[in-house]
Amino acid sequence: MTTDEFLSLLETAWRPAREMGALGGVSVAQLRDHAAGFVPSAFRVNSPADCVDIGSGVGVPGIFLAHLLPHTRWILVDASQRRCEVAHQAVEAVGLGGRVAVVHGRVDEFAHLSERRQKFDLVVSRLFGHVSETAECGLPLVRVGGCLVVSCREPAVAAWSGSELGPLGGLFGASWTSDQGTFVRIDGVAGLEGRFPRRPSARRRAPYLVV
């Protein structure tokens, strides 16, 4: 399948997403270019690799990354059933059903499942939420030796690089900025405390990171 064919199939599959405002006014080609920023040429992903896109919505950036990285397997997690339905339709439309699964559920609950906890080589987040929320819910999914890659605004890099992430099983690794945006990489390390992620009420009352 050519890139143009892939993008055309996604555009058609994502018509409901356009109607619900889940993609804004950004073109499918622009979304693909931004997704490529998660894995710059200097960045190596294990082969094969198990990956998860948290707060994936209708499948961005997970579907693009699955296409760009054919040696990877993906789970796209989102709390909206409707968006998950659209994501599943898009996955099937571009023929990625064998390597990409869509899971409807909350990421904090997903991260406490024994078969998912610290099991992923790569975790990505595009619009999951605040730095503290992303760290507390995303890092417990990263295996030791894996990483969390987050698309963020440039001022957030200081919050990621200056925070104590050890109790969440993380260590700041790198950041980069390109035409596609700004990204940070947090490496998975030993030391994850079993209480993380906490319940939503606890996270709201006392955010792990105050930035």
In tens digits, the chain (211 residues) has pLDDT values of 899 999 999 999 999 999 999 988 899 999 999 999 999 877 778 789 999 999 999 999 999 999 999 999 999 999 999 999 999 999 999 999 999 999 999 999 999 999 999 999 999 999 898 999 999 999 999 999 999 999 999 999 999 999 999 999 999 999 999 888 999 999 999 999 999 999 999 999 999 986 6
pTM above 0.85, yes or no: yes
The whole-angstrom separation of Cα 139 and Cα 16 is: 31
User: Which among 152, 145, 126 is positioned nearest to 209, based on CA atoms?
Assistant: 152
CATH number, domain 3-40+48-205, options 3.30.465.10, 3.30.70.1350, 3.40.50.150, 2.40.40.20: 3.40.50.150
Asked if residue 126 lies in contact with residue 60, where contact means CB atoms within 8 angstroms, the answer is: yes
Structural tokens at position 161: 């690089």
Eight-class DSSP state of 104: E
Map residue 209 onto helix, strand or coil: coil
The whole-angstrom separation of Cα 122 and Cα 46 is: 9
For the packed helices 81-93 and 3-13, what is the interaxial angle rounded to 10 degrees? 150
Eight-class DSSP state of 163: S
Which distant-in-sequence residues (6+ apart) come within 8 Å of 80 by Cβ? 57, 104
